[in-house]
Structure 1
Amino acid sequence: MRGTILLSHGSDSGPEATKVSALAALAEARGWRTQRPDYREDDARGYAASVALRLARLNAAIEACGTPPLLVGSSMGAFVSALASLEHPVAGLLLLATPGAIPGSGAVLDLRHGVPTLLIHGWRDEVCPLQDIVAFAGRRHLPLLVLDDDHRLSGSLPTIEHQFASFLDTLA
């Protein structure tokens, strides 16, 4: 086994969501262990209230890994994955459709410097403004792939899978 990947779904979704399921299957076929925390109970409290709850759940999963995991997240899952990297060593971050902040939570996007990171976002994201992630990536000099898609990135799954496979190859 190459290591563990924790895949965090977005709000209004679940651990069986299309993107995290497809990426988990790809990683498992390449010899990685995967886990998909279930945040639905946390999300029932609303966006702002769920940030701390999600972060606590993800931190517990990271601590149970034993070695630094790769964190993959979509939307709110990406946001808490980035924040978790501030508290724990991680092997890398793949962040999809990432919000720059969660209104009302007091939390803004941040991540540990020096962690291999790939950001993927949609040009037509109607939930998380593109300019926020472009500004964040620019300040940190992080790679950002912007696709002709909306917030769900469902039309870009083959491209995301290809990028994820390449990202895994760089970590192996």
Structure 2
Amino acid sequence: MRGHILLSHGSDSGPDATKVSALAALAESLGWSTERPDYRQDDLNGHAGSVQPRLERLRAAMDAHKAPVVLVGSSMGAFVSGLASLDRPVAGLFLLATPSAIPGVSQAFDLRAGVPTVFIHGWRDDICPLDALYPVIRRQRLPLLTLDDDHRLSDSVDHIASEFRFFLEKLAVAA
């Protein structure tokens, strides 16, 4: 087994959502183990109210593994994945449609420096504006792939899966 991956779904979604399911299946086919925390109960607290419970749930899942895990997140899942990387070691971050902030939450999006990270975002994302994410990406000079898609990135699942395969192959070589 190559390592463990935690895939965090976005709000108004679930652990069986299209993107996280496709990425989990791909990772498993490459020899990685995967886990998809279910944040639906946390999300009943609203966007601002779900951040802390999601973060606690993700940290607990991370702490259950001896080696650093790879975090994959979409939207709210990307937001908490970045925050979790600030106080837990991670092997990599693969972040989709990442919000730079959540209204009502004092902490803006951030992530640990030096962690292999890829951002994928839709040009037509009207929920999480791409421009707001640039300062974080620019500060650490991280890769950003922008696709002609909206917030859900549903028209780009195959492209995202190809990028994820490449990302995991690079992590496996580096290990």
TM-score (norm 1): 0.99
Match status 1:157 vs 2:157: yes
Contact 1:134 1:144 (8 Å CA) reproduced: no
Cα offsets for 1:22-68 (capped at 9, x unmatched): 00000000000000000000000000011010000000000001210
The RMSD of aligned alpha carbons is: 0.6
The residue that corresponds to 1:126 in the other structure is: 126
Unaligned runs of 5+ in 2: none
CA distance in 1, matches of 2:134, 2:125: 12
The residue that corresponds to 2:79 in the other structure is: 79
CA drift at 1:131: 0.3
Question: Where in structure 2 are the equivalents of 1:89-108 lying within 5 Å?
Answer: 89-108=89-108
The residue that corresponds to 1:15 in the other structure is: 15
CA distance in 1, matches of 2:31, 2:157: 21
CA distance in 1, matches of 2:145, 2:116: 14
Contact 1:123 1:148 (8 Å CA) reproduced: yes
Q: Which amino acid aligns with 1:134?
A: Y
CA distance in 1, matches of 2:95, 2:170: 16
Cα offsets for 1:76-130 (capped at 9, x unmatched): 0000000000010000000000000011011201000000000000000010001
Percent identity, aligned pairs only, is 66
Match status 1:138 vs 2:138: yes
> What secondary structure, in the 3-state scheme, does the structure 2 residue paired with 1:91 have?
strand
The residue that corresponds to 1:40 in the other structure is: 40
TM-score (norm 2): 0.97
Following TM superposition, where does structure 1 have runs of at least 4 consecutive aligned residues deviating by more than 3 angstroms? Answer: none
Q: Which amino acid aligns with 2:15?
A: P
The residue that corresponds to 1:115 in the other structure is: 115
Cα offsets for 1:110-165 (capped at 9, x unmatched): 00000000000000001000101223211221100000000000001111000000
> What secondary structure, in the 3-state scheme, does the structure 2 residue paired with 1:22 have?
helix
CA distance in 2, matches of 1:41, 1:107: 22
> What secondary structure, in the 3-state scheme, does the structure 2 residue paired with 1:65 have?
coil
Q: Which amino acid aligns with 1:87?
A: D
CA distance in 1, matches of 2:96, 2:66: 25
The residue that corresponds to 2:25 in the other structure is: 25
